[in-house]
Structure 1
């Protein structure tokens, strides 16, 4: 796996991902995730929906970065991901992480391609900027997809430990057992990397969208541990 993809998927990377639970906090508040037994279904569902969407756009972004596309292509990628994210709360969370990742990326991997992307989309979605950073460094679309798909499950898994006090060894084992599905999702994402942005996959995650909107509303009314 490309070193930049590994860095981006590391929880210590200063992109701001640690303040997002990926819907886990709202699911826990509703009693849908209470123990390690409930976690595999939640994480697998998230991987095949929101995770696959993020992986597809990260792969497409890596493909574009390696080919020095016209500046307008970055805007189209960002707009197409916006169109596939009906929840305002989800869009804002993605752009917040994208902004943090862009700031860290500019410091670590300065590039004319990155400058063009940010000139066209100053607040890019997280998968778009993450994929671009992997592509700029020479990583493959599969690598870019793996970085964001892994975060789609590792972030909520970490949140489950912090929120519910679950056994970290058991939670880590749940994530480890998703290795096969992660490879499948990233392989599917990489296959579409060269497609026109309008033709990229559009998996829906209505439950996660509803969780995000409810979490945003509750976050204004009471203290929540996570921003989303």
Structure 2
């Protein structure tokens, strides 16, 4: 196992204290409204999630990883500032692609917690100067670079989280068979690899040119979910 592979396993581990376990990726709202009733529905839900918000987030994670990888140990102060500026612009652009205030709050909270976890396990000199509480995909991409990973690694990690969170949550929400739930992820592996490769190919694009695959129903469900006092997951 390479150092990079070990780093990716660490970053994508659901047990990393980054807060992801408290979120269902919109699945709880989808189950409540009857849009997901069985594992066949779950497969369609995950496909939609991967090809919309998942693909967008993967592109931003890859871009953030590429930006921080360019600021090595021998980087000049001016180069470091350029990196920080690009990360901030990426964060702003991703906010603009997230119409739901609820989803923006969730993303920034998860990004903040992820950087906190990374600070504990793998401190990086630039982390202290990064914008506090960036969107989760930007934090994930930066964290991937801090662990010596590549943009395609960052994209794969974010995509893995986008489908594994709902697959874990469905067991609690519907008493579904966990083997059936995780089979849906296995069936998507080719699609996820394709999306990750495409995202990595855009890692050096101008932030304004990165994808913006909308999911209006997810935005609506996220806003509605926040109004429910009784819920198992924060989102």
Work out the CA distance in 2 between the residues paired with 1:3 and 1:86. Answer: 35
Q: Mark the runs of 5 or more structure 2 residues left unpaired by the alignment.
A: 72-79
Cα deviation 1:60-99 (Å, max 9, x = unaligned): 0100010025222121111011001010011011111111
Q: Distance in 1 between matches of 2:163 and 2:111?
A: 17
Shift of 1:217: 1.7
Residue 57 (structure 1) aligned with residue 60 (structure 2): yes
Alignment partner, residue 188 of structure 1:
198
Distance 1:108 1:224 in 2: 31
- d(CA) in 2 for partners of 1:11, 1:2: 16
Whole-angstrom distance in 1 between the partners of 2:109 and 2:63: 20
Within-5 A mapping of 1:6-17:
6-17=9-20
C-alpha distance in 2, partners of 1:22/1:213? 13
Q: CA deviation at 1:162?
A: 1.1
Q: Following the alignment from structure 2 to structure 1, what is the Cα–Cα distance between the partners of residues 31 and 171? A: 11
Asked whether the 8 Å contact 1:51–1:148 carries over to 2, the reply is yes
Say whether 1:84 aligns with 2:94.
Answer: no
- The within-5 A match list for 1:64-75 is 64-68=67-71, 69=80, 70=82, 71-75=84-88
Q: Give the match for residue 75 of structure 2.
A: none
Normalising by structure 2, we get a TM-score of: 0.92
Tell whether 2:7 aligns with 1:4.
yes
Q: Secondary structure at the match of 1:99?
A: helix
| Aligned residues between the structures | 222
How far the C-alpha of 1:214 sits from its partner, in A, is 0.7
Name the structure 2 match of 1:46. 49
Residues in 2 aligned to 1:55 and 1:3: alpha-carbon distance in whole angstroms: 20
Normalized against structure 1, the TM-score is what? 0.94
Query: In structure 1, what is the Cα distance between the partners aligned to 2:15 and 2:208?
Result: 33
CA RMSD of aligned residues (A): 1.1
Is it true that 1:95 corresponds to 2:108 in the alignment?
Answer: yes
Structure 1 stretches lacking a partner, 5+ long: none
Equivalent residue, structure 2, for 1:116: 129
Q: How far does residue 116 in structure 1 lie from its aligned partner after superposition?
A: 2.3
Q: What SS class does the counterpart of residue 33 from structure 1 fall into?
A: coil
Asked whether 1:153 is paired with 2:168, we answer: no
